[in-house]
Amino acid sequence: MIVAEHLTKRYGGRTAVDDVSFTVEPGRVTGFLGPNGAGKSTTMRMVVGLDRPTSGRVTVDGRAYADSPAPLQEVGALLEARAVHPGRSARSHLRALAATHGIGDARVDEVVAMTGLSAVARRRVGGFSLGMGQRLGIAAALLGDPRVLVLDEPVNGLDPEGVRWVRQTVRHLADEGRTVFISSHLMSEMAITADDLVVIGRGRVVAQGPVRDVVGGVGGASVLVRSPRAGELGSLLERSGARLERRDDGALVVRGPDAAAVGDLAAGAGIAVHELTPQQSSLEDAFMTLTADAVEYATSPSPPAGPHGSGPRPAGPGRPDEEARA
C-alpha cells in the first residue's frame, strides 16, 4: 500500500506537485492519470525517495521507502525507460542491481526470461530499441519480487504485443495481491488496465476512486432523447426530478432516470419518442473535463472546428493563411 499525505514538491518557484494525497491499495491496479507535466513522474520519484518532498510525506507499507532494509523487495520501480548505462549489457545491468540485495544470478535470468529479453541479455543496452529498454526497466522492477510496483508510463514505446504483455503482467501482479501503481497520460490505456484512478492535473489531484466512480462523478450516464414534443417531455421530466440539458438541435440530454424510465414516462403521457439512446460518458470525457483547467500546455483554447469549419478557430500565432481560410 502506498499512502501519500499532503505531498508537495517545488522546484524553485515552480510547484510540480501541490498538496497531493492518495492511497494506492494492494490487490488492485491503480492508474495515475494526467496530462504530460502534471506531476506524475515527480510524485513517483518521491515514492522511491529519488526526490525529496518539499513538504508532506509518502510511505510504502507504513514507512518511508528509504527506511526499508531491502528496498527492491519493497518496491519495484520503472521510472524512466533509460535508467541504464548504454555500454553495459542488459544482464550486467540487472546483476549489478541484484547484487545490492544479494539477489543471485538465477533470479536475474528469471526476470530476463519473464520479460522476453533472453536473446538480447548479453548485448549492450545502447543498441536496444525503446521497447526493449522498457522491458529491461520492467525486468529491473521485478528483480526483488516486490510487493509494490511503481511503473511510470510502462507502455511507452512498446509495440502492441508489448502493450498487451504489460496489461496482462500488471493484472497478474495485482491478482497476486500486490500493489500496482501505474501512470499514463493515455486515458484509453487506463480504461483497460486500471481498477482505481488517481487523476492529477497541474500537480493537484482532481479526482480519485474506482474508475466507474471517477467517470460517473463527472457526468455519469445520460440518456439522449428526441421527440417532436420535446418541450412538453422536458418539463415532464424536470417535474419528475431529472436534470436536463436542451441541445440546439432540439434533443434533450437527460440525467437521472435511465432510458427505460424516460420511455415509460413519455409513453404514460402519450408523447412520441423518436430516439432514446443511453449514453455512457467515457473515461476520456471524464479526463478531459477533470483536467480541462489543468493542462499545462493547452494546444487550443477552443474546440475543433466542425465539418463546415463553422467553429471558432484557435488564434494560433504565425498562421494567417489558416485564419484567412477559416
Partner 1 sequence: MSAATSARPAEPRGGRAVTFGRVVRSERIKLLTLRSTWWVLALTLLAVVAVPLLPAALYAADPASLAGALGPDVGALTAGTEVAVITLGVLGVLAVTNEYSSGMVRATMTAVPRRTPVLLAKGVVLAVLAALVGVVGVLLAWVVTLPLYGDAAPSLATATAWRVVLGSGLRLAGVALLALAVGALLRSAAGAVAVVLGLLLVLPGVLQVAGFATGVEAFGRVVPFLPGQAGAVVTQVAPTGDPLGPWTGLLVMAAWIAVLGGAAVALLRSRDV
For residues 72 and 218, which CB has a smaller minimum distance to partner 1 in the complex? 72
For residues 10 and 229, which CB has a smaller minimum distance to partner 1 in the complex? 10
For residues 99 and 326, which CB has a smaller minimum distance to partner 1 in the complex? 99
Helix axes 230-239, 259-268, angle to 10 degrees: 110
Shortest Å distance, C-beta 278 to partner 1:
41
Helix axes 130-142, 105-114, angle to 10 degrees: 130
Q: How many CA atoms lie within 13 A of 149 on its CB side?
A: 33
Shortest Å distance, C-beta 182 to partner 1:
16
What are the residues binding partner 1 (CB under 8 A)?
A: 1, 3, 45, 48-52, 61-63, 65-66, 68-73, 75, 77, 79-80, 82-89, 92-93, 95-97, 99-103, 140, 144-145, 147
For residues 70 and 326, which CB has a smaller minimum distance to partner 1 in the complex? 70
For residues 83 and 271, which CB has a smaller minimum distance to partner 1 in the complex? 83
Give SS3 for 258: coil
Shortest Å distance, C-beta 75 to partner 1:
8
Shortest Å distance, C-beta 289 to partner 1:
33
Residues with Cβ < 8 Å from 247, sequence gap 6 or more?
253
Shortest Å distance, C-beta 5 to partner 1:
12
Shortest Å distance, C-beta 48 to partner 1:
5
Which residues are registered as beta bridge partners of 208? 198
CA pair distance 146, 77, nearest whole angstrom:
9
CA pair distance 230, 224, nearest whole angstrom:
11
For residues 128 and 287, which CB has a smaller minimum distance to partner 1 in the complex? 128
> Where is 189: in which H helix or E strand?
helix 187-193
> Where is 133: in which H helix or E strand?
helix 130-142
Can you say how many angstroms the Cα of residue 200 is from the centroid of all Cα atoms in its chain? 9
